[in-house]
Amino acid sequence: MAPAADRLGYWGRPTSTLDWCEENYVVSFYIAEFWNTVSNLIMILPPIYGALQTFKDGLEVRYVCSFLGLAAVGIGSWCFHMTLQYEMQLLDELPMIYCCCVFVYCIYECFKQEHAINYFPIALLLFFSIIVSVVRMTSSPFPILSLPYVPQDIQAFIAICTEKQAVALHYKVYLQWKEPVFHQVMYGVLVACLVFRAVFIVTWVYPWLRALCYTSLSVFLLGFVLWNIDNIFCDSLRATRQRLPPVVGAVTQLHAWWHILTGLGSYLHILLSLQIRSTYLKYRPKVKFLCGVWPVLHIESQKTS
């Protein structure tokens, strides 16, 4: 994490519980962490294109939601790193949970009839998302549920509905872990579910998809490694950047690389999930490269026999 002392900019003093290793307001007075902000473009523009292409191909809405969910994560992360405000931090962290829940549903329901809807996993994932959201918002140093712009009747309703579940989690779980471990663990649980399911499918069902699966996992894992290096060796990285030209120093912004690599890894996972589903439905999926660089999935309208 970054040292506490950092310059102030347009958005004022940070209220987020996290302040990453990039020096604040160095590149722009209006953007707290410039490189951590612009690196989110990889999680915004390609997924929007993927959502439009998926909708155009007439595929199931769940995969449109997967692409849009990843774009929402990118937008939330952009807002968070641009402002370092706690409300924007939630806009970054909570969509990660929601998006991962959509991913989990897609890959666990990939061998069902076309347009079939299984309400049990939907309810389970929705309950998981609500619990994480309520605990996250009520356990903050600036509780969102008690802010003036949340109507009192909504606050009362949430308090009644979550009195036993969320409050118990708040006191027994959340406060025993240093923030933001709770969010990271819950996110890790969902990612682990995705990894186990994907590896099982490419091992026992569609082994020809191993390359795409393991590429996605490797890219994501590399991003996770860089994320940890950025957290553990922040002081050394900052000292190194002081001795480098600004353009070269930008390469050492490892949290920005985390965005790029996890954004690409998540995008490839959606392609994998979509290819598994379309193969099961006897479509003809094929990975192509847009402009010879960016992978997209082309689905032929005619099914195989």
Helix (H), strand (E) at residue 133:
helix 119-138
Mean pLDDT of 278-295: 88
pLDDT of residue 291: 82
- Cα-flanking dihedrals φ and ψ of residue 299, to 5°? -110, 120
Over residues 187-211, the mean pLDDT reads: 96
pLDDT of residue 183: 85
CA 38 from chain center: how many Å? 16
Cβ–Cβ < 8 Å for 96, 73 = yes
Residue spans of beta strands (DSSP E) within the chain? 284-290, 294-300
Measured in degrees and rounded to the nearest 5, phi and psi for residue 128 equal -60, -45
What are the tens digits of pLDDT across the range 4-41? Answer: 446 789 999 998 888 899 999 999 999 999 999 999 99
pTM: predicted TM-score of the whole model, two decimal places: 0.86
Q: Each residue of 215-239: pLDDT tens digit? A: 999 999 999 999 999 999 999 999 9
pLDDT in tens, 118-160: 999 999 999 999 999 888 777 655 544 444 445 555 555 545 5
- Average pLDDT taken over every residue of the chain: 86
Residue 286, phi then psi, degrees to nearest 5: -150, 130
Residue range 161-178: mean pLDDT, rounded: 46
Ramachandran quadrant class, 51 (left: phi over 0; alpha: psi -120 to 50; beta: rest): alpha
